[in-house]
Structure 1
Amino acid sequence: MFTLFILPDSQSYCDLRLKWTRKYFCVPDQRHCLRQQMQWILDNKDSLNGTLVLHEGDLTQTNFEIEWQLGCEWFQKIENHIPYVLCTGNHDQGFEPHPPEGISQYSNRRDSLIDAYFPPARFRRNPLYDYGGNFRGSSSNYFIFFEADGLRFMVIILEFMPRDEVIEWANGIVSAHSGHRCIVLTHGLLDKKGNRDLHGYNYAIEGNGAQEIWDKLLRKHRNIFLVLCGHSHGEARRTDEGDDGNLVHQVMANYQFWGKGGDGWMRILHFYPEEDRIDVKTYSPVLDRYRHGPSSKFTLPYPMSGSRISVFQGLSG
């Protein structure tokens, strides 16, 4: 058994610039929530055979320096203990306080401070990482490898509403590493009902919507088995067949409007290769509670058993 730790949208925890969480929802400073999540991961990674931490985007509220600084400080807590990856959300790029009428304040432009605080060199120079590469020198789109229980995996991280050229790059990367089991991490894919929808906002950037991401990338590769996303509010999941008959699990979690800005809820994915299953749990280190409803605790079937250099969906690895 090995474990992945999933951190959903955390913008409420580092809403330091405009303090909208406090202004509109009467929620006090919640920066302790992500700090407690990181400490819990450190305290439990060995007993749970923790392999990787994945942040689903919207680390910041307004793509502002003090918010990135705080997020960077939190990730430094686990920096040399367990690998982590993070994707850019709509709040992490191109914030505009006063956009034209009808246009979202978020993702008005592609510019993001992610490379100032999480540059590719930060991952390349860390011996914990098997860093694969990136798109045009940026941490907005990159990929890594990891091995667990004799199985070879890759994680490809995509920007919010990925551009056509990013989709083309990702297709090439996934095809070139067809012997690796592939997880895709991107901020927006599902709405709270499990539909492929980016939640109806009018973003100024041009890029691919959720259905286009599925049609142009996710369905086309038989080694893609899991897509993790946030963005929409609440929990949702769906499973669809790819073009080769493989199952692609798509799982969304975002708790920013639960309790006090999210209450530290996170996802824990336990992989059981010998039993061909992934158990998904939802836990808050802040509240020290698990959620037990069917949208919070469930099992995903996934073939992993056989040879430890095993065969899956017709592929080695």
Structure 2
Amino acid sequence: MRKTAAFLAAVTALSGAAVPALAQDRSFTIAAISDTQNYTDYTHQTAEGFKFDADRMFLDQMAYIAANLRSNGGDIDFVTALGDVWQHQTLTIDPGHAARGFKRVANPILDAHFAPTPKVTTVEIATARKGYEMIAGKVPFSVVPGNHDYDAMWTDSSHPPAAKFTDMSSLGMLHPGGLNNFRSLFGADKPFFKNKRWYVASHDGGADSAQIFKAGGYTFLHIGLQFDAPNASLEWAAKVIAEHPGLPTIVSTHDYMTKEGERVPNPIIDGHAVDAEDNSPQMVWDKFISQHDQIFLVLCGHEHGQAIRVDNNRAGHPVWQVLADYQDRRQSAIDAGAKMGPGEGIGDGWLRLMRFDMGSATPTIQVRTYSTHYKKQSRDTAEYAAWYKAAEKPKLSDEAFHGEDDFKIDLTGFRKRFGNPR
């Protein structure tokens, strides 16, 4: 990440040409942090009898990002967290949904693993605060709420689970509600964002937010949307875009795309199926993303795995949509001899680093995946496919599986849409 004098000299020697003076000014990195709930989970700490403190992996990720910020000599100019910062909830159902007539039903699996607990505040949110304090005031950043970050997550009585519970697939339809926990740390009026010039707009107390950052010769607009964003969120986001005309825009949200690249929700937690006020991923595309030509990139987590798809918006221009979620990975737990239940993961320290090169005729994004636990990029990890392919993309060759986490995006038509760097 860091570009030392020795590194630049080595590049010069290899290429046989001088490094252009503006090359560094035209490139930058966005760090994308996805689904860290298994790190912050209070049950994954030695205090609860776990083999190691998984929160150390999350804190190592944040320390790595902090060390590689532009302000510290690196090239990270923006950080986006894609939701599910922590694991547990504090309520069985939030007052807002209860007042609207929603009711929960007992769920043996959910109730056993995700019973409301004050340790959300004392352990999980406290860990998240410690991590984000490492970058606060040093770089523009966004955090969107994932379903686990809501105050409650319950099985809705209109979508009861299967009569016989066998595994996580029989949970029935879940629904999240309440954002007081999220706002307590990431609210628009909290220290991370209050009075920050780059934090340009918010909605629903900060559940939806907008940031501006300058990098690579462009001013970018970023919009973060809450889980299965309702119409009010999409209307607010459209207004933000109208107030910032012409800016290349990135959207981050939690629930948007499967590892097969489909814009469909996870069948266990489909916000629109439970509540008509919420929009499904396809509805978010139809109503908002496809309608605004400034949006060129969408980032998401939630669905376990990796994927990319490209679709033209209504103006006929491409929109790149990228999923990354490593929460199921648990090689670190295997290494430590920890016992893990079905579907239980850690994450193994993997995060996405998206390096933009805006200096070429067709700008590019080089996508890399790096583990702060193993201190290696995915491409340089010989065991990578052996560790993860069978659970994530078993039909791919080892090389193709590596390509899921190490690839280049050509931003075709970017100059035509947004002009030249300045």
**TM-score (structure 1 length as normaliser):** 0.88
Between 1 and 2, higher relative CO (CA 8 Å, sep ≥ 6) is seen in 1
- Please tell me whether residue 82 in structure 1 is matched to residue 139 in structure 2: yes
Inter-partner Cα distance in structure 2 for 1:27 and 1:104: 31
Distance 2:85 2:174 in 1: 13
Unaligned runs of 5+ residues in structure 1 are 306-310
Distance apart, 1:296 and its partner CA = 0.3
Whether 2:246 is the aligned partner of 1:179: answer yes
Structure 2: distance between partners of 1:33 and 1:172: 38
Give the CA deviation at 1:94. 3.6
Larger strand proportion of the pair? 1
Q: Corresponding residue for 2:82?
A: 56
SS at match of 1:313: helix
SS at match of 1:299: strand
The worse-fitting range, judged by mean Cα deviation, of 242-251 and 41-50 is 41-50
Q: Quote the Cα distance in structure 2 between the aligned partners of 1:106 and 1:75.
A: 28
Structure 2: 5+ residue stretches without partners? 1-26, 90-119, 162-170, 334-345, 380-401
Alpha-carbon distance in structure 2 between the residues aligned to 1:30 and 1:226? 31
Structure 1 contact 273–304 (Cα < 8 Å) conserved: no
Alignment of structure 1 residues 101-250 onto 2, 5 Å: 101-102=160-161, 107-121=175-189, 122-125=191-194, 127=196, 129-136=197-204, 138-202=205-269, 203=271, 204-205=274-275, 206-250=277-321
- Seq. identity, %: 28
CA contact (8 A) 1:93 1:107 kept: no
Distance across 2 between alignment mates of 1:74 and 1:29: 14
Amino acid at match of 1:223: Q
Task: Number of aligned residue pairs: give it.
Answer: 305
Q: Which amino acid aligns with 2:232?
A: E
2:53 partner letter: D
Post-superposition shift, 1:96? 3.9
Give, in angstroms, the shift of residue 44 of structure 1.
2.2
Change (3 A) 1:72 1:6: same
Q: What residue identity is the alignment partner of 2:356?
A: F
1:291 Cα deviation from its structure 2 partner: 1.3
Check if 1:95 corresponds to 2:152. yes
Match of 1:264 in 2: 349
**Is 1:60–1:71's contact at 8 Å kept on the other side of the alignment?**
yes
> Could you tell me how far 1:112 is from its partner in structure 2?
3.9
* Matching residue of 1:313: 417
Q: Displacement of 1:77 after TM fit? A: 1.5
Amino acid at match of 2:257: L
Distance 1:168 1:30 in 2: 39
Code of the residue aligned with 1:268 in structure 2: it is L
Going from structure 1 to structure 2, the CA distance change for 1:262 and 1:74 (only over 3 Å counts) comes to same
Which is helix-richer, 1 or 2? 2
What residue is the counterpart of 1:301 in the other structure? 410
* Partner Cα distance (1:208, 1:222) in 2: 20
1:87–1:158 Cα contact (<8 Å) kept: yes
Shift of 1:130: 1.1
2:59 aligns with one of 35, 48, 59: 35
Correspondence 1:8 to 2:93: no
TM-score by length of 2: 0.67
CA RMSD of the aligned region, Å?
2.4
Which letter does structure 1 place at the counterpart of 2:136?
Answer: E
